[in-house]
C-alpha cells in the first residue's frame, strides 16, 4: 500500500487532538517542547529539521521520518540535501535502517508530488 500524505495528515491531526483532549499537563508540556525545539535559534529551522530527520531514521520511527520529511520540504530542504542527511543516518544506524530509508524516500516522493502542507 502506497503512502498517502493526506490520509497520514488527517490521522495525525485527529490523534494529536485526541491526545491533547486529555486533562494532562505533562502531555501538553511535552507537545509544546516538541514544537518549540524546532524553532530557529542558534541553529536555523532547516538544520533542526534535518537533525530530526536523521535522528528519526536512526531510531527507526517511520511516522517521525515522514513528519520530518514534510517539515524539511516546508523549510526549503531539497531532496538532495535530505539524501545526504539520510546517508549520515544510514551510516550511524546501520543496515537495520534500510527499510526505514525506503519509507523515507517514499515520503520524499509522495510529499514532493503533492501539497507540502
Query: How much is the CA Rg of the chain, to the nearest whole Å?
Result: 15
Q: Is residue 11 part of a domain?
A: no
In this predicted model, what pLDDT tens digit does every residue of 60-112 receive, in sequence order?
999 999 999 999 999 999 999 999 999 999 999 999 999 999 999 999 999 99
CB contact set of 21 (below 8 Å; sequence gap of 6+): none
Q: Is residue 54 part of a domain?
A: yes
CATH number reported for the structural domain that contains residue 96 in this entry: 1.20.1290.10
Distances (CA, A) of 39 to 33, 53, 100, 104: 10, 15, 26, 23
Distances (CA, A) of 91 to 9, 52, 68, 101: 29, 16, 19, 11
What is the model's pTM? 0.92
Amino acid at each position: 500500500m502506497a503512502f498517502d500524505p493526506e490520509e497520514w495528515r488527517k490521522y495525525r491531526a485527529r490523534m494529536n487532538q485526541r491526545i491533547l483532549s486529555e486533562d494532562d499537563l505533562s502531555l501538553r508540556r511535552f507537545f509544546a517542547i516538541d514544537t518549540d525545539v524546532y524553532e530557529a535559534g542558534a541553529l536555523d529551522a532547516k538544520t533542526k529539521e534535518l537533525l530530526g530527520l536523521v535522528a528519526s531514521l536512526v531510531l527507526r520511527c517511520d511516522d517521525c521520518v515522514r513528519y520530518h520529511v514534510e517539515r524539511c520540504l516546508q523549510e526549503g530542504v531539497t531532496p538532495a540535501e535530505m539524501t545526504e542527511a539520510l546517508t549520515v543516518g544510514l551510516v550511524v544506524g546501520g543496515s537495520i535502517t534500510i527499510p526505514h530509508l525506503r519509507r523515507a524516500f517514499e515520503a520524499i516522493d509522495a510529499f514532493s508530488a503533492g501539497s507540502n502542507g
